[in-house]
Structure 1
Amino acid sequence: MQHCFTYGSLMCEDIMSAVTGARSRFVAASLDGYRRQPVRGQAYPGMVPATEACVPGVLYLDLPASAWLRLDRFEGEEYERRQVVVRLQDGRTETAWTYVFRPGYAARLVDGEWEFERFLRTGKARFTAQYVDSDALEGDGPA
Protein backbone atom coordinates (compact mmCIF):
# COMPACT_ATOMS: atom_id res chain seq x y z
CA MET A 1 0.00 0.00 0.00
CA GLN A 2 1.49 3.32 -1.10
CA HIS A 3 0.27 6.90 -1.51
CA CYS A 4 -0.28 8.72 -4.82
CA PHE A 5 -0.06 12.49 -5.29
CA THR A 6 -2.30 13.73 -8.11
CA TYR A 7 -2.39 17.24 -9.56
CA GLY A 8 -4.64 17.12 -12.61
CA SER A 9 -7.64 15.11 -13.78
CA LEU A 10 -6.98 12.42 -11.16
CA MET A 11 -7.74 14.97 -8.42
CA CYS A 12 -11.37 14.12 -9.22
CA GLU A 13 -12.31 11.17 -7.03
CA ASP A 14 -14.67 9.71 -9.65
CA ILE A 15 -11.93 9.70 -12.32
CA MET A 16 -9.33 8.30 -9.92
CA SER A 17 -11.57 5.44 -8.79
CA ALA A 18 -12.51 4.60 -12.39
CA VAL A 19 -8.83 4.49 -13.37
CA THR A 20 -7.59 2.54 -10.34
CA GLY A 21 -10.60 0.30 -9.81
CA ALA A 22 -10.47 1.25 -6.12
CA ARG A 23 -11.69 3.91 -3.73
CA SER A 24 -9.13 5.39 -1.37
CA ARG A 25 -9.14 8.00 1.34
CA PHE A 26 -7.61 11.29 0.23
CA VAL A 27 -6.40 14.60 1.63
CA ALA A 28 -5.28 17.93 0.17
CA ALA A 29 -1.52 18.18 -0.32
CA SER A 30 1.07 20.18 -2.23
CA LEU A 31 4.40 19.45 -3.86
CA ASP A 32 7.24 21.96 -3.72
CA GLY A 33 9.80 22.27 -6.51
CA TYR A 34 7.41 21.49 -9.40
CA ARG A 35 4.94 23.35 -11.61
CA ARG A 36 2.02 22.07 -13.68
CA GLN A 37 1.36 23.34 -17.18
CA PRO A 38 -1.30 22.71 -19.80
CA VAL A 39 -0.55 20.08 -22.43
CA ARG A 40 -1.14 21.44 -25.94
CA GLY A 41 -4.59 20.44 -27.21
CA GLN A 42 -5.52 18.51 -24.07
CA ALA A 43 -7.59 19.11 -20.95
CA TYR A 44 -4.95 17.58 -18.66
CA PRO A 45 -1.65 19.01 -17.37
CA GLY A 46 1.95 17.91 -17.22
CA MET A 47 4.10 18.49 -14.15
CA VAL A 48 7.81 19.33 -14.39
CA PRO A 49 10.55 20.26 -11.91
CA ALA A 50 10.72 24.01 -11.22
CA THR A 51 12.64 25.71 -8.44
CA GLU A 52 10.54 28.06 -6.29
CA ALA A 53 7.24 26.60 -7.60
CA CYS A 54 4.55 24.59 -5.81
CA VAL A 55 1.75 22.38 -7.14
CA PRO A 56 -1.50 21.92 -5.20
CA GLY A 57 -3.10 18.51 -5.42
CA VAL A 58 -4.69 15.53 -3.78
CA LEU A 59 -2.89 12.73 -1.94
CA TYR A 60 -4.65 9.37 -2.20
CA LEU A 61 -3.71 7.23 0.78
CA ASP A 62 -2.81 3.55 0.78
CA LEU A 63 -3.59 2.58 -2.79
CA PRO A 64 -3.75 -1.19 -3.30
CA ALA A 65 -1.05 -2.87 -5.38
CA SER A 66 -3.57 -3.53 -8.16
CA ALA A 67 -4.00 0.23 -8.72
CA TRP A 68 -0.41 0.89 -9.79
CA LEU A 69 -0.39 -1.14 -13.01
CA ARG A 70 -3.65 0.54 -14.01
CA LEU A 71 -2.23 3.99 -13.22
CA ASP A 72 1.01 3.31 -15.11
CA ARG A 73 -0.95 2.17 -18.17
CA PHE A 74 -3.35 5.13 -17.94
CA GLU A 75 -0.56 7.71 -17.66
CA GLY A 76 1.19 6.31 -20.72
CA GLU A 77 4.57 7.11 -22.19
CA GLU A 78 4.45 10.89 -21.61
CA TYR A 79 4.80 10.40 -17.84
CA GLU A 80 7.22 8.68 -15.51
CA ARG A 81 6.35 7.61 -11.99
CA ARG A 82 8.57 9.32 -9.44
CA GLN A 83 8.73 9.21 -5.64
CA VAL A 84 8.36 12.61 -3.97
CA VAL A 85 7.71 14.14 -0.56
CA VAL A 86 4.45 16.11 -0.35
CA ARG A 87 3.28 18.55 2.30
CA LEU A 88 -0.12 18.19 3.95
CA GLN A 89 -2.21 21.15 5.08
CA ASP A 90 -1.23 20.58 8.72
CA GLY A 91 2.46 20.82 7.84
CA ARG A 92 3.27 17.10 8.04
CA THR A 93 4.96 15.43 5.09
CA GLU A 94 4.33 12.10 3.38
CA THR A 95 6.27 10.15 0.78
CA ALA A 96 4.22 9.39 -2.31
CA TRP A 97 4.44 8.42 -5.95
CA THR A 98 3.44 10.92 -8.63
CA TYR A 99 3.62 11.15 -12.41
CA VAL A 100 6.05 13.68 -13.89
CA PHE A 101 6.02 14.75 -17.54
CA ARG A 102 9.02 13.24 -19.34
CA PRO A 103 11.55 15.78 -20.68
CA GLY A 104 11.31 14.27 -24.17
CA TYR A 105 7.72 15.51 -24.41
CA ALA A 106 8.36 19.02 -23.04
CA ALA A 107 7.56 20.65 -26.41
CA ARG A 108 3.92 19.60 -25.84
CA LEU A 109 3.66 21.81 -22.74
CA VAL A 110 2.13 25.28 -23.02
CA ASP A 111 3.41 28.22 -20.97
CA GLY A 112 1.25 29.17 -18.02
CA GLU A 113 -0.45 27.44 -15.13
CA TRP A 114 -3.01 24.66 -15.60
CA GLU A 115 -6.16 25.51 -13.63
CA PHE A 116 -8.16 22.77 -11.91
CA GLU A 117 -11.29 24.94 -11.61
CA ARG A 118 -11.23 25.57 -15.36
CA PHE A 119 -10.86 21.82 -15.97
CA LEU A 120 -13.97 21.19 -13.87
CA ARG A 121 -15.94 23.84 -15.80
CA THR A 122 -14.80 23.21 -19.37
CA GLY A 123 -12.68 20.08 -19.69
CA LYS A 124 -13.85 17.32 -17.36
CA ALA A 125 -16.82 16.12 -19.43
CA ARG A 126 -14.73 15.87 -22.61
CA PHE A 127 -11.84 14.27 -20.73
CA THR A 128 -14.11 11.69 -19.09
CA ALA A 129 -15.71 10.78 -22.41
CA GLN A 130 -12.33 10.50 -24.14
CA TYR A 131 -10.24 8.73 -21.51
CA VAL A 132 -12.47 7.24 -18.81
CA ASP A 133 -15.72 6.20 -20.50
CA SER A 134 -13.82 4.79 -23.49
CA ASP A 135 -11.35 1.96 -23.97
CA ALA A 136 -8.50 4.29 -22.91
CA LEU A 137 -8.37 2.58 -19.53
CA GLU A 138 -7.17 -0.54 -21.35
CA GLY A 139 -4.43 1.34 -23.18
CA ASP A 140 -2.50 4.55 -22.81
CA GLY A 141 -4.25 7.57 -21.39
CA PRO A 142 -3.12 10.87 -19.93
CA ALA A 143 -2.53 12.15 -16.44
Structure 2
Amino acid sequence: MNRNDHTVPTACFTYGSLMCEDIMAAVCGIRPDHAPATLRGYRRHAVTGAAYPGLVPNARDHVRGVLYLDLPEAAWSRLDAFEGEEYERRIVDVERADGARTQAWTYVFRARFAHRLAAGGWDFERFLREGKARFVAEYIGFDKLPPR
Protein backbone atom coordinates (compact mmCIF):
# COMPACT_ATOMS: atom_id res chain seq x y z
CA MET A 1 0.00 0.00 0.00
CA ASN A 2 1.32 3.41 -0.88
CA ARG A 3 1.55 5.40 2.35
CA ASN A 4 1.74 8.62 0.33
CA ASP A 5 -1.85 8.04 -0.74
CA HIS A 6 -3.92 10.27 1.56
CA THR A 7 -6.60 7.59 1.86
CA VAL A 8 -4.20 5.40 3.84
CA PRO A 9 -4.49 6.13 7.58
CA THR A 10 -1.66 7.57 9.63
CA ALA A 11 -3.42 6.75 12.91
CA CYS A 12 -2.98 3.60 15.00
CA PHE A 13 -5.63 2.13 17.29
CA THR A 14 -4.00 0.41 20.26
CA TYR A 15 -5.70 -1.87 22.77
CA GLY A 16 -2.95 -3.41 24.90
CA SER A 17 0.53 -2.50 26.14
CA LEU A 18 0.78 0.28 23.53
CA MET A 19 -2.05 2.13 25.28
CA CYS A 20 0.73 3.21 27.69
CA GLU A 21 2.27 6.39 26.29
CA ASP A 22 5.75 5.50 27.53
CA ILE A 23 5.71 2.09 25.81
CA MET A 24 4.36 3.63 22.58
CA ALA A 25 7.09 6.28 22.72
CA ALA A 26 9.78 3.63 23.26
CA VAL A 27 8.52 1.70 20.25
CA CYS A 28 7.88 4.64 17.89
CA GLY A 29 10.63 6.95 19.06
CA ILE A 30 8.13 9.82 19.40
CA ARG A 31 5.20 10.83 21.62
CA PRO A 32 2.30 11.18 19.18
CA ASP A 33 -0.95 12.97 19.96
CA HIS A 34 -3.61 10.56 21.11
CA ALA A 35 -7.26 10.26 22.09
CA PRO A 36 -9.55 7.59 23.55
CA ALA A 37 -11.39 5.53 20.95
CA THR A 38 -13.58 2.46 20.55
CA LEU A 39 -13.32 -0.31 17.97
CA ARG A 40 -16.60 -2.16 17.33
CA GLY A 41 -16.78 -5.70 15.99
CA TYR A 42 -13.70 -7.01 17.79
CA ARG A 43 -12.85 -8.65 21.11
CA ARG A 44 -9.64 -8.45 23.14
CA HIS A 45 -8.34 -11.69 24.70
CA ALA A 46 -5.44 -12.39 27.01
CA VAL A 47 -2.60 -14.27 25.29
CA THR A 48 -1.63 -17.37 27.27
CA GLY A 49 1.72 -16.92 29.00
CA ALA A 50 2.02 -13.25 28.01
CA ALA A 51 1.21 -9.88 29.57
CA TYR A 52 -0.28 -8.52 26.33
CA PRO A 53 -3.59 -9.21 24.54
CA GLY A 54 -4.66 -10.30 21.08
CA LEU A 55 -7.52 -8.79 19.10
CA VAL A 56 -9.92 -10.93 17.06
CA PRO A 57 -13.09 -10.19 15.09
CA ASN A 58 -16.31 -10.65 17.05
CA ALA A 59 -19.43 -8.89 15.77
CA ARG A 60 -21.06 -8.64 19.22
CA ASP A 61 -18.19 -6.94 21.05
CA HIS A 62 -16.20 -3.75 21.17
CA VAL A 63 -12.81 -2.73 22.52
CA ARG A 64 -11.86 0.55 24.18
CA GLY A 65 -8.37 1.75 23.44
CA VAL A 66 -6.14 4.64 22.48
CA LEU A 67 -5.94 6.18 19.02
CA TYR A 68 -2.51 7.63 18.20
CA LEU A 69 -2.64 10.28 15.49
CA ASP A 70 -0.38 11.28 12.60
CA LEU A 71 2.33 8.67 13.01
CA PRO A 72 5.36 9.23 10.78
CA GLU A 73 6.42 6.67 8.19
CA ALA A 74 9.37 5.50 10.32
CA ALA A 75 7.05 4.46 13.16
CA TRP A 76 5.29 1.77 11.12
CA SER A 77 8.31 -0.49 10.58
CA ARG A 78 9.08 -0.23 14.29
CA LEU A 79 5.47 -1.08 15.21
CA ASP A 80 5.42 -4.02 12.78
CA ALA A 81 8.63 -5.38 14.31
CA PHE A 82 7.33 -4.87 17.86
CA GLU A 83 4.08 -6.73 17.14
CA GLY A 84 5.85 -9.62 15.42
CA GLU A 85 4.50 -12.55 13.43
CA GLU A 86 1.46 -13.21 15.64
CA TYR A 87 -0.20 -10.01 14.41
CA GLU A 88 -1.22 -8.54 11.09
CA ARG A 89 -1.80 -4.84 10.52
CA ARG A 90 -5.31 -4.01 9.26
CA ILE A 91 -7.27 -0.88 8.53
CA VAL A 92 -10.32 -0.54 10.80
CA ASP A 93 -12.99 2.08 11.52
CA VAL A 94 -12.80 3.49 15.04
CA GLU A 95 -15.03 5.84 16.94
CA ARG A 96 -13.54 8.70 18.92
CA ALA A 97 -15.00 9.80 22.25
CA ASP A 98 -16.78 12.71 20.51
CA GLY A 99 -18.55 10.26 18.17
CA ALA A 100 -16.45 11.07 15.09
CA ARG A 101 -15.40 8.02 13.08
CA THR A 102 -12.00 7.62 11.48
CA GLN A 103 -9.90 4.95 9.83
CA ALA A 104 -6.80 3.66 11.58
CA TRP A 105 -4.40 0.78 11.46
CA THR A 106 -4.56 -1.81 14.22
CA TYR A 107 -2.88 -5.14 14.88
CA VAL A 108 -5.16 -8.19 14.74
CA PHE A 109 -4.09 -11.57 16.10
CA ARG A 110 -3.54 -14.00 13.23
CA ALA A 111 -5.95 -16.95 13.10
CA ARG A 112 -3.11 -19.49 12.96
CA PHE A 113 -2.07 -18.42 16.48
CA ALA A 114 -5.61 -18.47 17.92
CA HIS A 115 -4.73 -21.48 20.10
CA ARG A 116 -2.65 -19.05 22.23
CA LEU A 117 -5.66 -16.90 23.15
CA ALA A 118 -7.26 -17.44 26.56
CA ALA A 119 -11.04 -17.75 26.80
CA GLY A 120 -11.38 -14.60 28.90
CA GLY A 121 -10.72 -10.98 28.17
CA TRP A 122 -7.70 -8.85 29.00
CA ASP A 123 -7.79 -6.20 31.73
CA PHE A 124 -5.76 -3.03 31.12
CA GLU A 125 -6.01 -1.89 34.75
CA ARG A 126 -4.65 -5.25 35.90
CA PHE A 127 -1.83 -4.93 33.35
CA LEU A 128 -0.92 -1.53 34.84
CA ARG A 129 -0.96 -2.94 38.40
CA GLU A 130 0.62 -6.33 37.87
CA GLY A 131 2.14 -6.73 34.44
CA LYS A 132 3.52 -3.50 33.01
CA ALA A 133 6.74 -3.29 35.02
CA ARG A 134 7.58 -6.91 34.24
CA PHE A 135 6.65 -6.47 30.56
CA VAL A 136 8.96 -3.46 30.18
CA ALA A 137 11.78 -5.16 32.10
CA GLU A 138 11.50 -8.40 30.12
CA TYR A 139 11.03 -6.84 26.70
CA ILE A 140 14.59 -6.33 25.54
CA GLY A 141 13.66 -5.64 21.94
CA PHE A 142 13.21 -1.85 22.08
CA ASP A 143 16.83 -1.37 21.04
CA LYS A 144 16.51 -4.02 18.31
CA LEU A 145 13.69 -2.21 16.46
CA PRO A 146 14.48 -0.63 13.08
CA PRO A 147 16.16 2.79 13.32
CA ARG A 148 14.01 5.89 13.75
Q: TM-score range by the shorter chain?
A: over 0.9
Gaps of 5+ in 1: none
Whether contact under 8 Å (2:26, 2:142) holds in the other structure is: no
* 1:1-143 equivalence runs, <5 A: 2-131=10-139, 134-135=140-141, 137-138=143-144
- Cα distance in 2 for partners of 1:135, 1:73 equals 9
Pairwise CA distance, 1:135: 3.2
- Cα distance in 2 for partners of 1:2, 1:58 equals 14
**Higher strand content, 1 or 2:** 1
Whether contact under 8 Å (2:27, 2:142) holds in the other structure is: no
TM-score, length-scaled by structure 2: 0.90
- Cα distance in 2 for partners of 1:136, 1:6 equals 17
1:64-118 Cα distance to aligned partner (Å, 9 max, x none): 1000000000100000000001001111011000000000000000011100000
- Cα distance in 2 for partners of 1:115, 1:10 equals 14
- Cα distance in 2 for partners of 1:117, 1:94 equals 26
Pairwise CA distance, 1:136: 5.0
Q: Please give the secondary structure, in 1, of the residue aligned with 2:127.
A: helix
Q: How many residues align?
A: 137
1:104-133 Cα distance to aligned partner (Å, 9 max, x none): 0000000111000000000000100112xx
CA RMSD in angstroms, aligned pairs only: 1.1
- Cα distance in 1 for partners of 2:50, 2:67 equals 23
Whether contact under 8 Å (1:37, 1:113) holds in the other structure is: yes
- Cα distance in 1 for partners of 2:120, 2:29 equals 32
Q: Please give the secondary structure, in 2, of the residue aligned with 1:73.
A: helix
Q: Which has the larger radius of gyration?
A: 2
Kindly, what percent of the aligned residue pairs are identical?
Answer: 61
TM-score, length-scaled by structure 1: 0.93
Gaps of 5+ in 2: 1-8
- Cα distance in 2 for partners of 1:83, 1:6 equals 12
Q: Please give the secondary structure, in 2, of the residue aligned with 1:53.
A: strand
Q: Which runs of 4+ in 1 moved over 6 A?
A: none
Whether contact under 8 Å (2:82, 2:141) holds in the other structure is: no
